[in-house]
Each structure stands twice: as C-alpha cells, then as structure tokens.
Amino acid sequence: MRSKRLTILGLLAGVVLAALYYVTRPVERITLLPQPDGTPSAIVVQSRTGTTSVLDRPYSVATVTDSRIGTAQTDEAAVKARYNEVFAALPERPRSYMLFFGSGGTRLTPESEKYFLAVLKVLADLKDLPAPELTVIGHADEVGSTALNDELSHQRAMSVVALLSANGIDTARASIVGRGSREPLVQRQKGLAEERNRRVEIRLK
C-alpha cells in the first residue's frame, strides 16, 4: 500500500512540475521599431516548432513560446515606457536627410532644392558635435546599366558634398558612397524610372 501511495505521489509531483514548466517557460517578446529614415521594414519571427509570423508595422509585437506566436500592436509611447532604460543606454540614431534628383543626372528636383536649405540649417550644428560622422550615400533607379548607375550614384553623392562644402559645411572627413540601383526605396522592374530611387541620403551622427 505504501509503495502504491508513493507511486501516486510521484506521478502527481511530475504533473505539477510539468504544469510549472508550461506556465513559467520563457517567453520572448519582439518589437519591430521604425527605421530611422522612415522606410518600411519587416521581420519574420519563428518559434522552435517552426510556427512563423511576420511583423511589418512599426511597434508591432510578437510574443514567442516554444510552440506558438502571439501578435499585437502597440505604439511609441508604450514601447519607450516599457524599455526606458534600454533606450537611454542606446547610442543616438543617425540623423538622416533625403534629396531627390531628375532622371539621368545630378540636378536636384525643385522640391529637394528647397529642402536642401532646411538641411543646411541642421548641418550647421555639425561643428558642435564632439566627433561628428558625415556620410553621403548616392543611389540610382533601374534605368541604365549597372556600371552606369554605379557611376551616376557616386556622382550624385559627390555633387551633394560639393553643395555642402560650398555652403560652409565641413566635408573634409565625409564618407562618400555610391550604391547604384542596389537599394531601391521602391521596387521597380529593370528599365523603369522611379524618382524616389534617384536620391542621395545624408547621414549625420
């Protein structure tokens, strides 16, 4: 009788331990933050058993256990309140400014010419930063060959650096990059023009 009672107690203990594991097993919480420049992004979240879910809206949240993924939507204020100490410890995100170009050349669109004046006022603070890093990245759309777009994107970056320098911005240590048509803001078939892909991004941190 004693042996039977011990066996039952052992089984009950096993059930309790299993229940405790189920309740207290680790839950991962993943939050999709917006890109610094506002461009869309997405991530695929997968549990250990292969369940997947896509986060494609800023501040969407996935809670992941071994076998399931729950999703929800939150907002900037809630995320910053929850992870206040984490955000405080993060380095400052680079400031990003986008200028757009006419087709096939290095001339800014009229809208970007006006916007450039506002950018100059921000970049005037460059001298007040302790160790500023200025990066100028040129891009092209899908019109033309890869070699042509590589050269054109670099020329666009160089033209913006020249404009900055002519307006009193120190560009002596600026990093200048041309990425051709490899990183479009808007996906287009080869040969199709897209103004939003003919751009230069100015990053400051």
Of the residues 89, 112, 129, which one is the last residue of a structural domain? 89
Of the residues 54, 89, 124, which one is the last residue of a structural domain? 89
Based on the fold, state whether residues 119 and 175 are members of the same structural domain: yes
Residue 170 inside a domain? The answer is yes
Residue 158 inside a domain? The answer is yes
Please provide the distance, in angstroms rounded to a whole number, between the alpha carbons at the two ends of the chain: 76
The range of the structural domain enclosing residue 72 comes to: 26-89
Print pLDDT tens along the chain (205 aa): 544 443 443 443 443 334 434 444 568 888 888 776 555 677 888 888 878 888 888 888 888 887 788 888 988 888 888 888 877 776 666 778 999 999 999 999 999 999 998 888 878 766 666 677 889 999 999 999 999 999 999 999 999 999 999 998 888 889 999 999 999 988 888 888 999 999 999 998 7
Residue 180 inside a domain? The answer is yes
Q: How many domains does the chain have?
A: 2
Give the per-residue pLDDT at 13: 42
Q: What is the CATH number of the domain that holds 111?
A: 3.30.1330.60
Residue 71 inside a domain? The answer is yes
For residues 168 and 45, give the distance between their C-alpha atoms in angstroms, rounded to a whole number: 47
Q: What are 91's two structure tokens?
A: 């380095």
Based on the fold, state whether residues 152 and 113 are members of the same structural domain: yes
